[in-house]
Amino acid sequence: MFAEENGLFGDPRIKAISDAIRVVPHFPKPGIMFQDITTLLLDPKAFRYTIDIFVDRYRDKNISLVAGVEARGFIFGPPIALAIGAKFVPLRKPRKLPGEVISEAYVLEYGTDCLEMHVGAVQPGESVLIVDDLVATGGTLSAAIRLLERAGAEVVECACVIGLPLVKGNWKLNGVPLYVLVEPRLDDLERTL
């Protein structure tokens, strides 16, 4: 669900977060409206709001592990994990982790990809929050859920800063709730057309 549908409607922090995200038209290819969170990171107040909203939501949910999806989940996941007293586990693209890994392949619009994590990074029964910057179709997050569940974890929720309109109304991935802070700003999209 979007944060505004869950008690944060009219919260000025949501507007500040949305306003801090830049839309880059036709990147990395024509027709793509890239949601650039680097401008959010350049705004300490909006970045703090982002982390604070997630921490407020997850502080009392007994989450023992935050898993961040490569690469921008590595930006948002660690500060959330530290604030709620959880450990952080990176979910990496293939061949980025040394040692023994467990993998989960998934299908993209034009091909396949894979997520990996270290064997033993997650203990059976651990309560996990998955964090990423953006959810479009849910394919990557669904692979992350499968990977963590194969390791014996209980995935409590997936949290993303941005949710594309494609996911609106689809608030569960593999049965796991999805929580999103903002949608892409339509005014930026309309100005670029």
Catalytic residue among 57, 72, 92, 185: 72
Q: What three-state secondary structure class fits 43?
A: coil
Separation of CA 111 from chain center? 21
109 tagged catalytic: yes
Give 32: exposed, middle or buried? Use CB within 10 Å, 0-12, 13-18, 19+: exposed
Distance CA 23, CA 34 (A): 6
Contact between 147 and 158 (Cβ < 8 Å): no
Alpha carbon distances (Å) from 177 to 2, 5, 75: 11, 14, 21
150 tagged catalytic: no
Distance CA 167, CA 183 (A): 10
Catalytic residue among 95, 100, 109, 190: 109
Q: State the DSSP code for 127.
A: E
Q: Looking at the annotation, which residues are catalytic?
A: 72, 109
